[in-house]
Amino acid sequence: MDNNWYLDEEFWRTFGPLMFNADTFARGEEEIECLLSLLDMPPVPTLDLGAGPGRHSLPLARSGYPVTALDTSAYLLDQLGESASDLPVEIMRADMREFVREQAFGLVLVMWTSFGYFENEADHARVLENMSASLRPGGRLVLDLVGLETLCRTMEPVHLTEYDDGRLLVERPALIDHMTRLDNEWLLIDGDTIHRTHFSHRVWSAGEISSLLNSHGFDILAIHGDYQGADYDLEAERMIVIAQPIEST
């Protein structure tokens, strides 16, 4: 049976406050600034899939982009609702596997490795088809991922983070299933309490994600290794894929 960890509100309640803090919100704002200069397109209706509490939806809306922020987590969307006040953000609680709004968006974003969670490959294909159907002709898709090449270079068997309040996060990652998935065990040590979670998600090399997108009707416009627009190479920190639905003639 699938381990649907990404639908578990308890996961986001426990680990969300570590992931979505002042530093990562500031980083989201910088990422949007860089991305908009890479994309060089006027404000268009934008779909932020797996938007969470709005690290990217909020700065996009502040830049004049009408945003639909879609997520399955009511807990995270409530936080976004509180921050959005009168910004042009439509908050939508839905599963990216189900959501299609025909040719409604000029830009679709899936940020911070939020594409790849499903155990079933057909679910990833379904999301790509939904995104393609939801994009207007000439629209762009941005996937912000970590590539297999980067993981091979940077992954440590154990990684420890100590937070200012004394909590410790122990991460134990491993590449499994012929290096197609990243398996992760997280232990959050909070005084005498330990929260443990175990999850995995799909990883692709640049060549594999290009083939997957091509086979679902997308042309690859660029693959960058960071938000400044560096080439995707052996120094890459992220794998930022910019794609466009192939125009039917």
The residues binding ligand SAM (CB under 6 A) are 6, 12, 28, 50-52, 55-56, 70-73, 76, 95-97, 111-112, 114, 117
**Whole-number minimum distance, CB 77 to ligand SAM, in Å?**
8
**Of residues 240, 242, 232, the one with CA closest to residue 149:** 232
Phi, psi of 235 (to 5 degrees): -95, 0
Q: How many CA atoms lie within 13 A of 110 on its CB side?
A: 22
Q: Which is nearer to ligand SAM, 154 or 219 (CB)?
A: 154
**Closer to ligand SAM at the Cβ: 53 or 139?**
53
- The amino acid occupying position 115 is F
The answer to whether 103 and 44 have CB atoms below 8 angstroms apart is no
Please measure the distance between the N-terminal and C-terminal CA atoms of the chain and give it in whole angstroms. Answer: 42
Minimum Å distance from CB 57 to ligand SAM? Answer: 8
Q: Which of 40, 65, 44 is nearest to 54 (CA)?
A: 65
Question: Of the two residues 79 and 205, which places its CB atom closer to ligand SAM in the complex?
Answer: 79
Nearer to ligand SAM, 112 or 227 (CB): 112
Nearer to ligand SAM, 51 or 182 (CB): 51
d(C-alpha 71, C-alpha 49), whole Å: 6
What's the min distance (Å) between Cβ of 174 and ligand SAM? 19
Min. distance of Cβ 248 from ligand SAM in angstroms?
A: 27
Nearer to ligand SAM among residue 97 and residue 101 (C-beta): 97
Smallest gap from Cβ 142 to ligand SAM, in A, equals 11
Closest approach of Cβ 170 to ligand SAM, in Å? 19
- Between 201 and 216, CB nearer to ligand SAM: 201
Taking the complex as a whole, how short is the minimal distance between the CB of residue 32 and ligand SAM, in angstroms?
10
